[in-house]
Amino acid sequence: MSQTTDERRLDSIEDAIQDIAEGKIVIVVDDEDRENEGDFILAADKVTPEAINFLATHGRGLICLPATEERLRDLQLDMMVDENTALHGTPFTVSIDAVEGTTTGISASDRAETVRRFVDPGAEATDFGRPGHVFPLRARPGGVLRRAGHTEATVDLARLAGLAPAGVLCEILNEDGTMARLPQLQEMADRFSLKIITIKDLIAFRSRSEKLVRCLETVEMPTKYGEFQLHLYESDVDNREHVALTCGSFDDGEPVLVRMHSECLTGDALGSLRCDCAQNLDAALRMIAREGRGVLVYMRQEGRGIGLRQKIRAYKLQESGYDTVDANVKLGYRMDERDYGIGAQILSDLAARKIRLITNNPSKRVGLEAYDIEIVAREPMSIQANRYNINYLRTKRLRMGHLFSDEDLAFEDDESGDQHAEGH
């Protein structure tokens, strides 16, 4: 058993894994800066009608079935919608019922049968009716090291317990219909003798026990900013190669100056004025070089994670009047598809676990802190707006919470400029 700073009881991940292996239900709590909710979770392999009834009676939320992309693809379960505009981008597939062994599909026994059939290795796509009363969710490859959500936590816990990588979850509501928060969740755990853990602790457990990135090569990299070392990493999570530029040593325990920079071919390499990426890259490298100690992690997350092809399609929509957020949504993506688990593992491998983060984007702070990276300070960057990116930067401040100063956005509109040329 571990203790939090406010003395509320939390259980160890090892104890939770043991309970999952034994078919018991556990409560999993996520970060207060995300949904800040608790879910009942159990392994799909161990589901019973009694367990489904417990979730429905005491959880009161939607009963869902998180699983891997591979399993969903095998059973030909498509995403529920082409354009996911949900606040947290919850990845629902079409809902299902087992064709055989069920009646209406809604009873506890019917839903348990649907879940059991889902994890049966011999099951086929034709074994399920669509739509139904069980709601599969697509977990990201890499689990909570890729996305710090309950969907991924469910699949991770089942896998760590040696069971099929699928499970059942249900959000926990109070009797008055409001979301249960940690004090209420702790009371419920005590009442029903359930283990209660956090996704943050699960991330830390996996980060300690698994290494999903590896450094392939390290070479000297002289640049116009100064002498750096380039570290080439490969990730088992997304099978991509990422780069870290470092200078100085990090063995003195002092916070390291860090920039997490997402790939931008059009801005970084081609000098596009539609975004501020090249300015950010230049400013960060200058700051690190001036300090003589720091890391720039260059992540392969083009277009805020949607890829080059979709970014160019988003540009086309922006030329028709969409802003950068609505263009992504129109293409079926969230406003920001990036994740920071891979980058966090790279920082850990470089011994940069206590950092000063160079960013104007507060969501990066939340994303990294979920992966046990301690951020002691945010180091802002000053950027200069131009007639091609002013609307883009305003959108980032107004709709994405970026912390630009009024001076950063102090730009007089030029009638000759294209005011619709937003960036990614």
Active site residues: 336, 338
> Quick one: tokens of 234?
């490969």
CA 214, 220, 224, 227 torsion: positive or negative?
positive
Compute the half-sphere exposure of residue 1: CA atoms within 13 Å on the CB side of its CA: 8
Sign of CA dihedral 176, 181, 182, 188: positive
* Residues in the chain, total: 424
Distance CA 342, CA 233 (A): 10
The DSSP call for residue 144 is G
Burial 341-360 (b: 16+ CB within 10 A, else e): bbbbbbbbebebbbbbbbbb
CA separation, residue 234 to residues 71, 82, 238, 345 (Å): 25, 31, 9, 11
A 10 A CB-CB count for 193 gives 7
**The one-letter amino acid at 299:** M
Terminal C-alpha separation, the chain: 45
| Structure-token pair, residue 254 | 């002092």
Q: Which of 375, 345, 350 is nearest to 248 (CA)?
A: 350
Beta carbons within 8 Å of 292's beta carbon, 6+ residues apart = 247, 248
Q: How far apart are CA 191 and CA 209, in angstroms?
A: 32
The two three-digit tokens of residue 272, written as one number: 């596009």
- Burial class of residue 278 (count of CB atoms within 10 Å of its CB; 0-12, 13-18, 19+): middle
- Asked if 339 and 207 touch (Cβ cutoff 8 Å), the reply is no
Asked whether the beta carbons of 68 and 93 are under 8 A apart, the reply is no
CA distances from 143 to 69, 76, 159, 219 (A): 11, 21, 10, 31
